[in-house]
Chain A
Amino acid sequence: MEKKSTKGWLYLLPALVFLGLFMIYPLVDVFIYSFEEGYNFTSQTYFGIGGYNYSYVLHDPYFLRALKNTFILVVITVPLSTAIALFISVGLASLDKLRDLFQTVYFLPYVTNTLAVGLVFMILFKKTPYTDGFVNLILGAVGVNPIDFMEGPYWAKMFVLCFYTIWVVLPFKILILTSALCSVNKNYYDAAKVDGASRLRIFTKITVPMISPSLFYLIITGFIGAFKAYSDVVALFGTDLNSAGMNTIVGYVYDMLYGSSGGYPSYASAAAIILFAIVLTITCINLIVSKKYVHY
């Protein structure tokens, strides 16, 4: 037994070393950083221990704006993307021949580089002196005046960001919901039809309850993902998010850590922990709610 024990740990050793160095130690360290006041990156000294970093971050107008942006993004994209994904999946599940083709097409955004495609979106929406851009061309056809989406009003920028975010997150949601829908036993539908139930009633009383576990899984992961939005935003508005007024919480963390405004790991840590606390709270609420509504 003694010899076997060593052997087991030996096989586990590489994973333990990597996880210890790059996950467990940082996890402890980030809490320590967040309480060290006035930490200096170059000399690695600090003045004292306390909650100053948290209060600094919470009073920083940049952080407050990042918080606001992130919340707007979450509140708009999570319900909307889940609803759209649900409708598309219901449509997909009702097809037989074309389903494979549509699924393949819908999945494409998942495998593409967010930064690269974000650039394409930027160009489609951008209004320059040379051209109003493709989106404005379409809007013009229905009689809307050209809008400067990338450098114009806040709501226009937010619209582009929400649109792109939904475009990026839909493939995953459609995939999960379609496979959930296809695994629902057909007998339930047949029984409902025999009883003369309307399609809406079948949808709300059979379909949604049957796939509720997947639906809640998507809502929970959707919230977590949307709170951590960053790469999509950089793809659209460039790395200087503060001047574009479109920073997110994660963007704030990285700005504090690195770049022209960087060098403050303590502030970054405090902001990251605040983010983690928010996500944890929301996830707990989601889990409590899902206990009430998810069947099985």
Chain B
Amino acid sequence: MDNSENFKKIEKAALRRRNFSKALTVILLSLWGLAVLFPFYWMCLTSLKSYGSYNSEYIPKLFTLSPTLENYITAFNSVNLARYFGNTIIFTVVTTLLMLMVTILAAFAFSRLNFKGKQLSFTLFLSLMMIPNELVIITNYVTITETNLRNTFTGLILPGVASVFYIYLLKENFSQIPDELYYAAKVDGTSDFKYLWKVMLPICRPTIITITILKVIECWNSYVWPRLITDDKDYYLVSNGIQTIRESGFGRENIPAMMAAVVAISVPLILLFLIFRKKIMEGVARGGTKG
């Protein structure tokens, strides 16, 4: 009797301790969650405050009772935000499509076809992964300037088309497809290209989607190359747009309108992330790098 009571007591204490440490974990994690979410909340909030009310708040308020959409109208009217969006969409779509084409063909060659020098060229390919972008961007800038491709989509897009890493990722995936499938297709008289199109691509769809999404994020956020290669506002991407808005845009003080522009730029990617959450996080865990 005594023993079983003791046992109960000890178990209760252990449970309490476990619950306590769990609660503490959740609280600490929530604090960091708050730190992550707060800038997003702040930009949405500020974008809804009117210019007058924002500037009259010496102590910023954490809520607003009279939300207004006028900042969004200002943001889209006083700078050509719509144009920057259009440019970014064109840039993203074309770059991603070209990248997919190049990547799929190269990955197919490395995984399925046999040719002289395959091993050697693949090794060289892999060693290219170590080359930092900063090293090659200088010559690329000179090349694009000398061929008069500054302020054109061609100049913006071309250097970003080939990506060694994505080729490697897709090649690994292609190599997992059993050889028997290929031989069976060959016996049936299927051409290599048709086999790639009808068999390999459908099987590897998850990887293709991952690569596509990662590239889209990369394109949407790219800043350095577009800045080097465009000084004509007609060809600005959203990142450059945001930078101009900040430095000259609506007069440096119209912060609510700035925030409206920031919200408009951030929303597409956040939506994309919420829809493809699993895919994106998987893809990044497999090979994204940032920071």
Q: Spell out A's residues near B (CB within 8 Å).
A: 4-9, 11-12, 14-15, 18-19, 21-27, 29-30, 33, 41, 81, 88, 91-92, 94-95, 98, 102-117, 119-121, 123-124, 130-134, 137, 165, 167-170, 172-173, 175-176, 179, 221-222, 224-226, 228, 230-231, 234, 238-239, 250, 253-254, 257-258, 265, 268-269, 272-273, 275-276, 279
Given A11-B105, A226-B291, A113:B132 Cβ within 8 A:
no
Q: How far is the CB of A99 from chain B (nearest CB, A)?
A: 9
Partner of A19, one of B46, B116, B128: B128
Interchain CB contact under 8 A, A104 and B277: yes
Q: List the A side residues contacting B272 at CB < 8 Å.
A: 111
Interchain CB contact under 8 A, B291 and A168: yes
Given A92-B29, A102-B33, A131:B60 Cβ within 8 A:
yes
Complex CA gap A17/B69 in Å reads 49
Q: How far is the CB of A51 from chain B (nearest CB, A)?
A: 18
Complex CA gap A291/B285 in Å reads 23
Partner of B224, one of A109, A117, A123, A230: A230
B195 at the A interface (CB under 8 A)? no
Interchain CB contact under 8 A, B223 and A12: no
Partner of A120, one of B128, B159, B259: B259
Can you list 19 residue pairs at the A/B interface with Cβ under 8 Å? A7-B113, A8-B109, A8-B116, A12-B109, A15-B106, A19-B162, A26-B139, A30-B135, A30-B138, A106-B36, A116-B242, A117-B266, A120-B39, A131-B58, A168-B290, A257-B228, A269-B138, A272-B134, A272-B135
Given A14-B101, A231-B223, A91:B29 Cβ within 8 A:
yes
Q: Which of B100-115 contact A (CB under 8 A)?
A: 101-103, 105-106, 108-110, 113-115
Given A8-B118, A15-B105, A26:B60 Cβ within 8 A:
no
Q: List the B side residues contacting A116 at CB < 8 Å.
A: 238-239, 242, 262, 265-266
Interchain CB contact under 8 A, B132 and A26: no
Complex CA gap A273/B60 in Å reads 46
Residue of B nearest to A107 (CB): B281
Interchain CB contact under 8 A, B281 and A121: no
Q: List the B side residues contacting A231 at CB < 8 Å.
A: 223-224
B72 at the A interface (CB under 8 A)? no
Q: How far is the CB of A279 from chain B (nearest CB, A)?
A: 7
Interchain CB contact under 8 A, A95 and B239: no
The number of residue pairs between A and B whose CB atoms lie closer than 8 Å in the complex comes to: 255
Interchain CB contact under 8 A, B266 and A123: no
Residue of B nearest to A249 (CB): B134
Complex CA gap A18/B37 in Å reads 40
Q: How far is the CB of A86 from chain B (nearest CB, A)?
A: 13
Complex CA gap A10/B217 in Å reads 30
Partner of A14, one of B37, B105, B143, B242: B105
Q: 1/0 contact trace for B29-43 toward A, CB 8 Å? A: 100110111011011
11 new A-B contacts, CB < 8 A, other than A19-B164, A111-B269, A175-B281, are A11-B109, A14-B101, A18-B102, A92-B29, A94-B25, A115-B221, A121-B39, A131-B57, A131-B60, A133-B60, A279-B132
| Residue with the highest number of chain A CB atoms closer than 10 Å, among B109, B110, B134, B291 | B291
Interchain CB contact under 8 A, B46 and A113: no
B48 at the A interface (CB under 8 A)? no
Partner of A27, one of B33, B118, B136: B136
Interchain CB contact under 8 A, A23 and B131: yes
Q: List the A side residues contacting B29 at CB < 8 Å.
A: 88, 91-92, 95, 98, 102
Interchain CB contact under 8 A, A26 and B106: no
Partner of B55, one of A102, A130, A179: A130
Q: List the B side residues contacting A222 at CB < 8 Å.
A: 291
Residue of B nearest to A23 (CB): B136
Main secondary structure of the interface of B (DSSP, over half): helix
Partner of B158, one of A22, A111, A228: A22
Complex CA gap A175/B282 in Å reads 9
Q: How far is the CB of B92 from chain A (nearest CB, A)?
A: 12
Q: How far is the CB of A275 from chain B (nearest CB, A)?
A: 7
Q: 1/0 contact trace for B46-72 toward A, CB 8 Å? A: 100000000101111000000000000
Complex CA gap A22/B164 in Å reads 12
Given A15-B102, A91-B28, A253:B138 Cβ within 8 A:
yes
Q: List the B side residues contacting A254 at CB < 8 Å.
A: 224, 228
Interchain CB contact under 8 A, A253 and B289: no
Complex CA gap A102/B28 in Å reads 11
Complex CA gap A7/B116 in Å reads 10
Interchain CB contact under 8 A, B247 and A239: yes
Q: How far is the CB of A185 from chain B (nearest CB, A)?
A: 19
B13 at the A interface (CB under 8 A)? no
B234 at the A interface (CB under 8 A)? no
Complex CA gap A92/B22 in Å reads 10
Q: List the B side residues contacting A23 at CB < 8 Å.
A: 128, 131, 136, 162, 164
Residue of A nearest to B58 (CB): A131
Interchain CB contact under 8 A, B115 and A108: no
Q: List the B side residues contacting A117 at CB < 8 Å.
A: 39-40, 43, 262, 266
Complex CA gap A249/B233 in Å reads 27
Q: Which of B203-246 contact A (CB under 8 A)?
A: 217, 220-221, 223-224, 227-228, 238-239, 242-243, 246
Given A112-B269, A175-B284, A257:B33 Cβ within 8 A:
no
